[in-house]
Structure 1
C-alpha cells in the first residue's frame, strides 16, 4: 500500500489482545514502515508499558474512559460481564465516536462496526465476514491477521517485542532477584478470579519442581500477596516476587524474566501471552475462556483446559499440570 502515513488500529483493550495483535501490527509496519500507527487505549500503566514494548506504535492523544468516568463505559462493562455482545459493541461504538476524531489514511477496526467520528478508509470485522472469514471460530491472532490478507499486504508471523534479553531483571525497588539458572514462573494473578488457580495446588507443583532441581518464581499483584505467602511458606526453591505494596515488576522486566524461564504457568492472562510471545514454553490453565480462541498461540499444545467440560479451572489437578511440565523440562 502506498500513500499511507497515519494508521488507526482499534483492538480490544487488554494486554493479551495487544499480544494477539503483534503479527498484524508487524505486517502493517513492514508494509508501511513510515506510517504512524496509533492505538486508543485506557489510561492504565500496564497497557502503556505494553505499547512501549511493541516499540513502533503509540497511543492516541486521548485515553478511553474507565467505567467510573463515563456512563457509556459503565454500560459497556455491565454488558461485557453479562456476556451481552450486542449491547457491549453498541456502547463501544458510542465511546469511540465520543472520544475519537480526526483524519487517518487507514483505520483497522477489529470490531463489528465502523467509527463515524473519524475520517478514514476503514476496514472492520464486517468486511472480513463478507469475504467468508469466520471470526467466531478463529483464534484471535488469526482473526487480527486476516486484516493483512484483506488489505493485500504480506502477513507477518512475528511476535517480536523490544527489550534487551541480556540485561538484569530489576524489581521496582532497584534490586536484582536471584532466581537461579532453572526456574518456572507461576503467574498468580488475573483480572477475573475465575482465571486463578489455587495456591495450595501451586504449592504442590512447586514442591515437585524443587525435587527436580527447578526453582519456582512467583509473580502477581498485591491482591495475590497472601496466596504467594501460602505457596512460599516452606521456602524451598521458591522465589517470591509478589509484593504487598505494589507491582514489583514492570512489563519490560517481566519480559526479560520470562524469556529466560524454563516454563511459565498461568491462567489466561496478559502475562501468559507475553511469555508465549517472547518464546518461552508456557502451560496455560483454562476454564471459562476457550483455548481455541485465546490460548497461548505458540503453545496451544500445552494447554490444560476445563473449557469443554465444566469450565471450572479450579478442578484442574496438580497431577495434570505436573504431567505437562514433565514434557517441557
Structure 2
C-alpha cells in the first residue's frame, strides 16, 4: 500500500514547490505515494487541479477536522510549511497525527519547516556558530521565548510517539515550482523596492548571507521523504535538526549585481547602490514592519550543515550561479509580481 503524505501550505512558496516536486517525482517509493495538499481557499484548490494530488480545504486551527482527515486517509507523514511561528497550529497537527497513530498503531512522522534566521546574532542568538548535530534543542530551550515552536515540535512529537524532524532552510531564492505563490519573500521585494524608488539600496553593514535555491530545497524534502519510506534511521526529536544551506554570498555582491543589471534594463537611475536612508525608509519600501527589515534582509547566521549527508543531499546551486541568474530573478518579479499567500502577507498585516 502506498504512503499518504499531508502537506500544509500547499500553495505557498515552499509548500507549493514541495507538492509539485512530489507529484512529478519519478523513481523510488515516493513515486507511488499519495500527496494530500492542504489549502485555505477554493481558488487555491483550483490552482492545484493540474496536479495529480488530493486537495483538501481544511482549517488548521480545527484539530478534530485534522484528526478525522488523517485517520480516514491513513496519513503517515505530515510536512508542515504553512507557518513556522504558530504554536497552536503545530500542536493541532501533532495531536491529529497522534490520533491517527493511535487508531492503527502505525509509525507516523512530523516534518516541521522552521528557519535559520533564528541563529543570527542580530535576532538575539547568543551561542555563535552552531551545527545541526550540536545539542540545538537544548540551546533553543534556553531561549524559549524566541524558539518556542521548534522546542514544542521536539518535545511534543516525542511525547506523542511520533518521529519529529525539523528542517531549517536559510534565505531562499529562485522561482518556485508550485501553482500559486512562486516567489520568495526577499529578492523580489528588493526588486520591487528598487523599481519604486528608481534606486537599489543596501544596509550600511555588509554581511554574508547563507542561501538555498528553492529547487535544491524541494530535492532535500524529496530525499528525506524517500529515506523515511525506506525506513532508514534518521536523527529525530531533540536530535532531529536539519540545516539546508547550499551556498553563501555577501549581500552587497547581490545588490551590486542587481543594481548594474536593473540599470542596464532601464529600471533604476544608477548602476550602483546607496545605503538605506533609515530603517523606517527601508521598512516602508520593502513593505514590512521596521523590526523585520534587518532580520529578513540582513541576516547572517553562522551554521554548519552535517545531517544533510545522512539524507544524501547535494545541492547544485552555488554563489556564481546565483549572481549569474539575477536577470531571471528580475524577470520572475516582472512576470509574477509580489509574492502572494506568503510570509510577507502576514508581515504586512502586522504592520497595519
Answer yes or no: same fold by TM over 0.5: no
Higher relative contact order (CA 8 A, sep 6+): 2
Q: Which has the higher helix share?
A: 2
What is the TM-score normalised by the length of structure 1? 0.32
What is the TM-score normalised by the length of structure 2? 0.30
